[in-house]
C-alpha cells in the first residue's frame, strides 16, 4: 500500500515543522550551562539549570587517529547541580 502524494507532503511538513521547533529548544538549553575547568579535561564540570532532564549530550572535542600516540583525549564534563539546588532523586519507570 503506497501513500498518496498529499499524505507524503503532510508528513514532510510535520517533520519540517517539528525540526524547526526543536532547534531553538536545543540552542537555548545550551545557553543555561556553565562550564568550570578546562573543557575536555577530566576535572571539568558543567552546571545545568535542571529544567531539562536528562542533560543534552555533549560534543566530542577529541581526535581519534590510528594509534593512541596520535589521538587527542577528551572527557565530557561531569554534570553537577547548581549551588543551592535541592537534593532530589528522580526515578523514571523503565518503559518511559
Domain ranges of the chain: 1-31, 33-82
Q: For the segment 24-53, what is each residue's pLDDT rounded down to a tens digit? A: 544 444 455 687 888 888 889 888 877 777
String of DSSP letters for 1-53:
----HHHHHHHHHHHHHHHHHHHHHHHHHHHT-EEES-TBSTT-EEE--SSSS
Cell of 15: 517533520
* Cβ–Cβ < 8 Å for 45, 36: yes
Other beta carbons within 10 angstroms of residue 48's beta carbon come to: 19
| Band (74; pLDDT cuts 50, 70, 90) | very high
| Band (91; pLDDT cuts 50, 70, 90) | confident
Average pLDDT over the chain reads: 75
Amino acid at each position: 500500500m503506497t501513500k498518496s502524494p498529499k499524505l507524503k507532503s503532510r508528513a514532510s511538513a510535520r517533520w519540517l515543522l517539528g525540526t524547526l521547533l526543536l532547534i531553538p529548544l536545543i540552542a537555548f538549553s545550551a545557553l543555561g550551562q556553565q562550564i568550570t575547568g578546562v573543557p575536555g579535561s577530566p576535572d571539568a564540570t558543567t552546571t545545568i539549570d535542571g529544567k531539562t532532564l536528562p542533560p543534552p549530550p555533549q560534543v566530542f572535542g577529541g581526535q581519534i587517529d590510528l594509534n593512541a600516540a596520535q589521538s587527542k583525549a577528551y572527557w565530557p564534563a561531569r554534570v553537577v547541580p547548581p549551588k543551592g539546588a535541592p537534593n532530589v532523586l528522580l526515578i523514571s519507570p523503565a518503559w518511559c
